[in-house]
Amino acid sequence: MHDIIRPQPGIMDIALYQGGKASIEGRNDAVKLSSNENPFGPGERAIEAYRRAGHALHRYPSTDHLALRVALAATYDLDSDRIICGVGSDEIITFLCQAYAGRGDEVLYSQHGFLMYRISALAAGATPVAAPERDRTTDVDALIAAMTPRTRLVFVANPNNPTGTMIPAFDVTRLADALPPQALLVLDGAYAEYVENFDGGAAMVESRDNVVMTRTFSKIHGLGGLRVGWGYGPRHVIDVLNRIRGPFNLSTTQLEVGEAALTDTEHLERSLRENARMRTWLQRALLDLGLKCDRSHANFVLARFDSPAEAEACNAHLLSEGLIVRQVGAYGLPECLRITVGDEPACRRVVHAIAQVRGRR
Ligand SMILES: *Cc1c(COP(=O)(O)O)cnc(C)c1O
């Protein structure tokens, strides 16, 4: 660090985010199962909208995102005035930290929670606080015990990444009921679409003035590269977030492709169906190989080995076979590998490779 020109306190505590590895040198047949991407890619409608958007690249985009907000509201039965769109849901998380947490404030999340909560808290100068989990699952009592008069934000991903576990509505309600008066609860619904009959927390947002939900086009919609996410919250919160949002944070391309993706029910249904089918298959196969694996509610599974060394060795073998999964030591889970549920051939290759490692022991 420069000795006179220095960033704000907290910033140098941020470890650079390591994205899921994308390629293996010298291989062109590598399968990427490290970033929870949709194995079927974007849907046809999204691709068509992307092509069409090219003709209007000289125009500045909408600043109020009205068309996308109205489409989201119609799809999920929400109030379009209380939706905010961002560059991925990461940007909504950033806005929340920037707007509500600063020096001396605490941002609370759970032990194996999504890394962006800590990063965004530090970037805002706030203090990140992690509450312990129980059996790799959000522990509401531990979160409640960690709340203080300085807590300004509580982040819970439900289902959580990288564990894949989730907590029931009853627990989310208990958490919301226990919030100190100055704190907001943020329900991160990045994987909500993968859970049947689940609203991601929308009803909770409707019934309170201190709960926000974040959602994304990056996972089931297969648009991680496009960078579109959104948030739903009480009017007073959305009003605050819009004040710090750049007027042109989303391009016309992002807005129109997102809108088109919402209408592609065929792509969504296929993605959901295949994910459920291969997730069940993959979990069963891992258990049959003697590994441990909590029940996942998302589009990845967390394989648990006997030791960090064994997870490391398995990861090395998978790489040598052209298979990229995610090491999750940064999440405090060095004995685990997070494997995105791929298509059937990818899942079969992963299980075959892991079986080779297990067989060698
Ligand atoms: C993938 C993911 C997101 C989404 O990030 P985007 O910025 O929308 O791509 C948010 N939260 C969690 C827990 C995730 O796993």
Q: Where are the domains of the chain?
A: 19-41+266-360, 44-263
For the record, the structure tokens of 108 come out as 């609370």
The answer to whether residue 82 scores a pLDDT higher than 90 is yes
Output the DSSP codes for 75-129: HHT--GGGEEEESHHHHHHHHHHHHH--TT-EEEEETT--HHHHHHHHHTTPEEE
User: 3-state class of 229 per DSSP?
Assistant: strand
- What does the chain come to in residues? 361
Mean pLDDT of 188-211: 97
Whose tokens are 């522990």? That residue is: 139
User: Please, are residues 284 and 320 in contact by the beta-carbon 8 Å criterion?
Assistant: no
Encode pLDDT of 110-135 as tens digits.
999 999 999 999 999 999 999 999 99
Mean per-residue pLDDT of the chain: 96
Distance 197 CA to ligand 1 centre (A): 20
Torsion of CA 190, 194, 199, 201, to 10 degrees: -40
| pLDDT the model gives residue 24 | 84
The dihedral of CA 162, 164, 167, 173: what is its sign? positive
Q: Is the pLDDT assigned to residue 313 strictly greater than 70?
A: yes
Is the Cβ atom of 38 under 6 angstroms away from ligand 1?
no
190 CA → ligand 1 middle, Å:
5
More confident position, 48 or 24: 48
Percentage, residues of the chain above pLDDT 90: 93
Mean pLDDT confidence for 275-284? 98
Q: How confident is the model at residue 361 (pLDDT cuts 50, 70, 90)?
A: low
pLDDT at residue 359 is higher than 90? no
190: Cβ below 6 Å to ligand 1?
yes
Ligand 1, atom 14, lies closest to the CA of 190
List the end-to-end C-alpha distance of the chain, in Å, as a whole number.
Answer: 46
C-alpha separations of 285 from 39, 180, 289, 348 in Å: 19, 44, 6, 9
- Strand blocks (E) in 151-299: 151-157, 184-188, 211-216, 229-232, 292-293
Going by C-alpha positions, the residue among 259, 262, 198, 207 that lies closest to residue 233 is 207
Angle among Cα 74, 77, 79 to the nearest 5 degrees reads: 85
Is any atom of ligand 1 closer than 6 Å to the C-beta of 216? yes
Structure tokens at 199: 């609203």
Query: Has residue 182 got a pLDDT over 70?
Result: yes
Q: Is 328 in the pocket of ligand 1 (CB under 6 A)?
A: no
Contact 19, 119 (CB under 8 A): no
Task: Note if the bond before 9 is cis, omega within 30 degrees.
Answer: no
The model's pTM is 0.96
Arithmetic mean of pLDDT, 50-66: 97
Q: Please state, in angstroms and rounded to a whole number, the distance separating the CA atoms of residues 254 and 221.
A: 13
Query: And the tokens for 267?
Result: 């792509």
Helix (H) or strand (E) segment spanning residue 1: none
State the DSSP code for 22: -
- Whether 218 lines ligand 1, by a CB cut-off of 6 Å, is yes
Query: What is the residue whose two structure tokens read 């909408």?
Result: 62
Q: Is 113 a pocket residue for ligand 1 (Cβ < 6 Å)?
A: no
Q: What is the pLDDT averaged over residues 285-309?
A: 97
Look at residue 23 in the predicted model and tell me its pLDDT.
82
Q: 90 in ligand 1 pocket by Cβ < 6 Å?
A: yes
Integer Cα distance of 203 and 150 in angstroms: 27
Q: Beta strand pairing status for 323-324 and 31-32?
A: parallel
Per CATH, the architecture of 44-263 is what? 3-Layer(aba) Sandwich (3.40)
Residue 107's beta-bridge partner residues? 128, 153
CATH architecture of 19-41+266-360: Alpha-Beta Complex (3.90)
